[in-house]
Structure 1
Amino acid sequence: MSENITLLIAAARDAAQNAYAPYSGYHVGAALRLSDGSIITGANFENASYGMTLCAETVAIANANSAGRLDQIRDIAIVGGPAGQVGIHKVTPCGRCRQIIKEVADITAHDIPVHCAHDGGCDTHLLSELLPHAFGPANLK
């Protein structure tokens, strides 16, 4: 695994420590690498109404958007698990997050690699593998 991916995973692991997960106890951190090598992170943020919960990937992408850097996202690392066991098992983005990442992929014209870290290492999937036959902005034309 490259040093860049290792640093991205470490940033996602650190972000998971900031998760607000009082209902599930499941902490997830996400880290985005931008085109200049900088990293933006996010952690999941639960809500008592469940449906309003924000996933770590969505928070990180919203942070990049707020910084005016949405078009600079190049890859994503995700780490998650029960509190105190973050990173033991592989976590992949939920369907909603895959769709949000698809929008970013279309904006960046880049098939975004998603690095899913776990105790055994890291499995990398291209967004197109995680969400084949995706619906995106081009379908609205």
Structure 2
Amino acid sequence: MRKIKIESFLDVFPTMEELPEAIFSLMEAAIVAREKAYAPYSDFFVGAALLLDNGETIAGSNQENASYPSGLCAERTAIYYAGATYPKAHIKAIAITARAKDKLTTTPIPPCGACRQAIAEYEIKQRSPIPLYFMGESGEVLKSESLENLLPLLFTSKYL
């Protein structure tokens, strides 16, 4: 037997204001999307915004329903819309923000596992990393240079 060590490295921005200008604007778009979330069951509101290489910004928010597991996260709402509308565009960056209804969320909140897998598919499709920036309602913003940095043992089509 042997052990394998897997590490992830993240950049930490103390506040949103310290982000590069284009990413600051992308995070603002994610915040606007977050406020459009439909989350009557979880009271957890998430917004995501994608910057595409064609200059377009695509935003999405989480959408829940009474059949609770069949809702859709903000990240997948945005990425699937981008893929359907601009199938040849590459994603240059993703910004994600989340907040709870009744408490201040200051811890950066990364994408869930299902969203990581969906983002991984687009990272593989475009053959280039997708930087992810994520935060809570306020406070620090974390940056991962790629989705693979957050999900290092990717499940890909090579296993099928």
Identity %: 39
Distance 1:57 1:86, change over 3 A: farther
Shift of 1:31: 0.2
Cα RMSD over matched residues?
A: 1.7
112-121 vs 56-65, greater mean Cα deviation: 112-121
Q: Is the 8 A contact 1:45 1:55 kept in 2?
A: yes
CA contact (8 A) 1:32 1:75 kept: yes
1:132 and 1:123 map into 2 onto residues whose CA distance is: 17
Please say which structure displays the higher CA radius of gyration: 2
TM-score (norm 1): 0.91
Match of 1:34 in 2: 52
Contact persistence 2:133–2:142 (CA under 8 A): yes
- Larger relative contact order (C-alpha < 8 A, sep ≥ 6)? 2
Alignment coverage as a number of residue pairs = 140
CA–CA separation in structure 1 for the residues paired with 2:29 and 2:64: 20
Q: Structure 1 residues 127, 48: closer, same or farther in 2, change over 3 A? A: same
* Aligned twin of 1:139: 159
The answer for unaligned runs of 5 or more in structure 1 is none
Distance 1:86 1:103, change over 3 A: farther
Q: 1:21-100 residue pairs with structure 2 within 5 A?
A: 21-69=39-87, 71-83=89-101, 88-100=106-118
Q: CA deviation at 1:86?
A: 7.2
- Where structure 2 has 5 or more consecutive residues not aligned to the other structure, the ranges are 1-18
Runs of 4+, deviation exceeding 4 Å? 84-87
Partners of 1:11 and 1:80 lie apart in 2 by: 13
Q: Is the 8 A contact 1:79 1:86 kept in 2?
A: no
Q: Deviation per CA, 1:90-125, whole angstroms, max 9, x where unpaired? A: 111000000000000011111111101242331101
For 1:116-127, list aligned pairs within 5 A.
116-118=134-136, 119-125=138-144, 126-127=146-147
